[in-house]
Structure formats: structure tokens, C-alpha cells
Amino acid sequence: MISSCVYAFDPKNRPVKDAEPGETLTFETLDCFSNEIQKEDQLITSFDYNRANPASGPVYLTGAEPGDILTADIKSIEVAGHGVVTTLPEVGPLADRMAVRTKVLKLSGGYTEFNGLKMPVRPMVGVIGVAPEKGSVPCGFPGSHGGNLDSKLMEAGAKAYFPVRTAGALFQLGDLHAVMGDGELCGTGLEIAGKVTAVLGLIKKTRLDWPVLETADKWYVMASDLDYTKALTWASRQMQELISKAYGWDVTDAYFYLSLWGDLEINQACQPCPVPLVLRLGIPKIPGKPLI
Ligand code: CA
Ligand code: ZN
């Protein structure tokens, strides 16, 4: 069980576990407030942001080197019996039309209940990725290394692909959500502690610039930036390159395909916010034609 945590993605973080490709790993994770907000009278304004978004790990993947791809098969996600959602001052489109408030919601029988309405629990991993090449990226921020990708599709059964930038890759994850809508408008989902079982894999010497997510029926590229147009550009270029390479098409045909059969979706866009928005650009999975 991997339970010690860090607050940044950093090639200088000391690995807490060495793993072989194919090994099954279990991560025990705190919620994004380090489990420090437990009651509705505890407001985010009294929380120390240095303790936000802990990620469990990092794991040193044997044989992983810059220029490789680390894969993470998410096998299962177990979540605790209750979660917390908070509004954040000056975050999100309704920041000037809300109170700073904390809600604690209980889970039972696969559902949670909000003001008398039942919502299905759909556990997902918010923070997941590998160390950047250099420097330190707080776990609350997304980037080309992964990080706070906040996709509701990062769930059991999905497989994520990350570009390895340092020896051993230094994989870590945390920030589970029991429920979250695309966009995560107020800046939090139903933040919750839990356990994730994942199998890490290694694809040698294969270029990737941004994280990719493989779901049951689609391939997605996930890209982020404070500027929506830039995030869209990064995701589109990465997808164009992957399609061209996998299908043997030129860049223009890849562009046509993206326009005809690609879907642009939002992971997290609680703007205005100091955290870059994250979008995902997806294409259908075609049998016998893997994108990676
Ligand atoms: Ca998050
Ligand atoms: Zn979260």
C-alpha cells in the first residue's frame, strides 16, 4: 500500500516504492484538503493551501527513461463514506454570486444525496501523472506531465498514458472525487479519500507530449493552459500527430477527421481561476487501429 504523499510533481521527489512494469499497486489517498475539512462549519478560508491536493507516491517504474511512455491502468477506485464540496473565494463563473460554504455529503448504496436529490457516485482520480523534466509543479496544477487533470473519465477501466521525463517516471496520484461534472464549475467536486488500484506499464522509446486517456470507446488527448485557445491548440496538434502516425494520414486528412468525428470536451474550466483549464479532445476507438 502506497500512502505517503507529496504536494508537488518534482523530479527531485524521493520515490517511496520501486515497481516493475505489470505490477499491481494500491494507493491510499487523502482528499484534496488532506482530510482536514470534515464539518460544514469548517470553511476553505481557514485551510492552508500548502496542504492542498496531496498525491500518494511517487513510484519509481523500473526501466522508465525520458522518451518512453508510462501507462496506468486504473483497475478500481474505492471511496470513503462521505465527501466534501466547497465554494472557493474568487474562483469560477459565479464567484460574485455565492457564499463561501462547505457541504459534507454522505454516500450510501452507490449514491450520494444533495438537498434531497440522489446522485449516482462515479469515482474518479483528479490528480495523476509523472514528474516534469525539471522544476516543481504543485499537485493542484495540470500540465503536460499530467497533474490536476480533473477528468470525470479518469475512472476504473480507463488507461492513462504519460510522457516520461525523468528516470523512473515518478508516478503519483490523488484527489479522488466521488461525483464531478464536466467543468467542475465551483472549483471542487465531491472531494473524498479512498484507495486506487492501478497497474503501471512501460512503452519504450515512443514520443508523447501530452497525456492521453483510453476509455472503453474513445481515445482522448488532455491539454491545459490558462488560455483556452492555447489549450485547444496543444490538444489538436498532439491528436493530429498521433492520428497521422497511427493511421498513416497526412496532417490535413487528420484535421478533417478531427472535425468530422472528433469531440472537444471539458475536464475542468472553473474560470476565472489561477489554475489552467483542462480540455480533452477525443476520437472513437477503431478496432485493430490503436492510437498508441
Ligand atoms: Ca482537482
Ligand atoms: Zn479535487
C-beta of residue 25 within 8 angstroms of C-beta of residue 2: yes
Ligand nearest to the CA of 32: 2
Kind of pairing between the strands at 55-61 and 5-6: antiparallel
Angle at 79 between CA 77 and CA 84, to 5 degrees: 135
C-beta of residue 193 within 8 angstroms of C-beta of residue 35: yes
Using pLDDT thresholds of 50, 70 and 90, give the confidence band for residue 3: very high
Among 140, 129, 227, residue whose Cα is nearest residue 187 = 140
**Fold annotation for 17-284:** Jelly Rolls (2.60.120)
Q: Which residues of 50-76 are buried (b: 16+ CB within 10 A; e: fewer)?
A: eebbbbbbbbbbeebeeebbbbbbbee
Kind of pairing between the strands at 55-61 and 17-19: parallel
CA 91 to centroid of ligand 2, rounded, Å:
14
Average pLDDT on 217-242 reads 98
pLDDT in tens, 167-226: 999 999 999 999 999 999 999 999 999 999 999 999 999 999 999 999 999 999 999 999
Domain ranges of the chain: 17-284
CA 250 to centroid of ligand 2, rounded, Å:
39
pLDDT in tens, 266-280: 999 999 999 999 999
CA 283 to centroid of ligand 1, rounded, Å:
24
CA 124 to centroid of ligand 2, rounded, Å:
9
Average pLDDT on 142-161 reads 98
Ligand nearest to the CA of 126: 1
CA 243 to centroid of ligand 2, rounded, Å:
31
The pTM assigned to this predicted structure is 0.98
pLDDT in tens, 16-46: 999 999 999 999 999 999 999 999 999 999 9
Protein residues with C-beta less than 5 angstroms from the ion ligand 2: 32, 126, 175, 191
Say how many C-beta atoms besides its own lie within 10 A of residue 115's C-beta: 6
